[in-house]
Structure 1
Amino acid sequence: MTDFDTYERDLWAGRAGVYETGFARLTAHAVGPLLDAARIGAGSRVLDLGTGPGIVAAEAARRGAKVSAVDADPLMAETAARNVPGADVRVAVLPALPHEDETFDAVVGNFVINHVGDPVATLAELRRVLRPGGRLALTCWTMPGSGVLAVVRDAMEEVGVPWPDDVPLGPFMTYGRPDTFAALVGGAFREARVESLDWDFTFDPGEWWENGAMSRVGSNAVVLLRQDSPTIARVKEVYDRRLAEYATGDGSVSVPAHALLAHGTR
């Protein structure tokens, strides 16, 4: 594993519960397009990468697919196995997968490839477990982060919170653009294409703050929680002010989200 992989394992350890009730609601928007791009239907043998609480796996099972799933965090894998009875859920750390060559008709990953330290090696492994003609579909956040992905980070920058050297940004600061994502996937798969996914995400600002920023979900939260209480309070003030322009009138806000969907054929 790279240093980034080691950092990621620590970042997500024990976060299954707060991720499921918070950030997973944001990433769930991409599940339908992801499975459509992979052509998941009845009888499809599909592998869900970084399954988390199993949202992608559950929808694939609902479509009649034969579902396998992996996650690097044992608690995430346990949560997915509970949420998707009948799925073959295993603990595995990319790029290594515990599956035989050419096992699957499709491999999907919802906002997972941006959490690995060696995307090129990971794509080679995904190609290995796909049958000839099998489909790959992956989502990632558009970089640099904007919209809902950036609200806490932008508030920290306005307050003047520095980004520490020991919190790595990862390869997808480079690959998180349509051209670079397409080139990355196209290096291992035929007919590689990248599409934009844009939607409005509606949430309660207070709940989002507590279940994300204050629950150590994501690198922004890691940096924020290193600050003293007065600094955190100032960041919260800026966060609230910035989100006020997206108010819906019922106490919620609706903020744009921007992501990329890549797909290709083995």
Structure 2
Amino acid sequence: MAFDSFRNSERAGWSERAGLYDDATARATTQAIPAMLAAVRLFHGARVLDAGCGPGYAAGAAAALGARVKGVDFSDEMIAVAGKRFPQLPFEIADVEALDEADNSFDAVVSGMVLYHVTDPPKAICEAYRVLKPGGRYAFSQWSAPSVSPLFGGFLKIVMAHADVAKADPAPDAFLLSDVDHATGLMQQAGFSEIESVQVESVLRAPSDDFYSFFMRFGVRISLILSRQTEAVQATIRESVNSHFSQYAKGGEIHVGMPCIVYSGQKPV
């Protein structure tokens, strides 16, 4: 299945959120960047590709550590935001499933919370392998499964109890890569060796006044599902979400666990 409608909705959704990312999604996604950069064994002067760069946080962090960095993303609005945030770095519109880069070009490739959004994750992994130099390293982050994620576990339980998820466009399994064995297998099939996985115990810190509305700005997938529900269903889910996550209130915010996994591997020499 091509998932064309899902792909188009993802691009449109993230383009709409490009200006909001800093005070929404970045509150959680950036917490995996140190682990990704450590996993690729970053060194001064390394040539790094931030594949699916969004607003460019990983690219900016790698550059601050002395790497020569390029960022690519399929959203023109994200590229525009990244360029304004890090004007000294090159950013281009590109598809992580079909990179416009030469073979054996980079010492490292990183993808922060990207494969969760693409239609063909194995293809994106193979593209990362292709553009890496022999001995180069690849790392990507992925949200942990709802069974171990207080955020996703709580939110999706409510959604599944009240929403008609069949109204959403067909989409790949969002948590397929949360299965360490499956993700490791895909990396092995692409050719990677020395494959490792590390769990990052990230915590989402969000405004406590209306957590439901905040999370609709945070991501695209769930908001697409809920936008197709009746007003009554949306109201029920809003009330249930805000009630459920109030248990995580702390110091005027919601502090809820949202762990992720950082996978990494090396292209053999």
TM-score, structure 1 normalization: 0.91
Distance in 1 separating the partners of 2:143 and 2:198:
12
* Distance verdict in 2 for CA 1:144–1:168, change over 3 Å: farther
C-alpha distance after superposition, 1:198-256 (max 9, x if no partner): 2332221336533431x4832111121223333222212111211121121x2212111
For these two proteins, the number of residue pairs brought into alignment is: 263
Partner of 1:224: 226
Contact 2:29/2:112 (8 A) holds in 1 = yes
- Aligned: 1:200 with 2:203: yes
Instruction: Answer whether contact 1:212 1:218 (CA < 8 A) is retained.
Output: no
| Equivalent residues of 1:18, 1:212 under 8 A apart | no
How far 1:173 moved relative to its partner?
Answer: 3.2
Q: Is contact 2:206–2:214 with CA below 8 Å preserved after alignment?
A: no
Is the contact made by 1:21 and 1:211 (CA closer than 8 Å) also made in structure 2?
A: no
- Structure 2 residue aligned with 1:80: 82
For 1:216 and 1:240, locate their aligned partners in 2 and report how far apart those are by CA, in whole Å.
15
CA distance in 2 between partners of 1:63 and 1:121 (Å)? 29
Residue 180 of structure 1 and its aligned partner are, at CA, apart by 0.9
SS in 1 for 2:135: strand
Does structure 2 conserve the Cα–Cα contact (< 8 Å) formed by 1:48 and 1:57?
yes
* One-letter identity of the residue aligned with 2:63: A
Q: Distance in 1 between matches of 2:141 and 2:42?
A: 15
SS state at 2:175 partner: helix
Unaligned runs of 5+ in 1: none
Shift of 1:78: 0.9
Equivalent residue number for residue 266 of structure 2: 265
Match of 2:245 among 219, 230, 243: 243
**Alignment of structure 1 residues 58-69 onto 2, 5 Å:** 58-69=60-71
The alpha-carbon deviation at position 87 of structure 1 amounts to 1.2
* Alignment check: 8 A CA contact 2:10 2:221 kept: no
1:54 alignment partner in structure 2: 56
Is 2:50–2:69's contact at 8 Å kept on the other side of the alignment? yes
Q: Pairwise mapping of residues 135-174 of structure 1 onto structure 2 (< 5 A)? A: 135-144=137-146, 146-158=149-161, 160-174=162-176
Distance 2:235 2:95 in 1: 36
**Whole-angstrom distance in 1 between the partners of 2:209 and 2:53:** 27
Measure, in 1, the Cα distance between the counterparts of 2:43 and 2:167: 45
User: 1:98 aligns to what SS in structure 2?
Assistant: coil
Pair 170,205 (structure 1): closer, same or farther in 2 beyond 3 Å: farther
User: Within the alignment, does 1:2 sit opposite 2:2 as a pair?
Assistant: yes
Q: CA deviation at 1:31?
A: 0.7
Alpha carbons 1:147, 1:255 under 8 Å: kept: yes
Partner in structure 1 of residue 101 of structure 2: 99
In 1, the alpha carbon distance for the partners of 2:101 and 2:73 equals 13
Percent identity of equivalent pairs: 30
Q: Deviations over 1:66-106 (max 9, x none)?
A: 11000000000111111112211100012111211111100
Q: Which moved more, 1:114-123 or 1:77-86?
A: 114-123
Q: Which amino acid aligns with 2:140?
A: L
**Counterparts of 1:5 and 1:182 in 2: how far apart (Å)?**
24
In 2, Cα distance between the equivalents of 1:208 and 1:96?
A: 36
Once the 2 structures are TM-superposed, how far is the Cα of residue 138 of structure 1 from its aligned partner? 0.6
Q: Give the counterpart of 2:184 among 182, 185, 206.
A: 182
Q: Mean alpha-carbon deviation: is it higher for 55-64 or for 145-154?
A: 145-154
Give the distance between the partners of 2:115 and 2:266, measured in 1 at CA. 17
- 1:254 and 2:255 matched: yes
TM-score for both structures, normalised by structure 2: 0.90
> Residues 236 and 5 of structure 1: is their aligned pair in 2 closer, same or farther, counting only changes over 3 Å?
closer
Partner of 2:22: 20
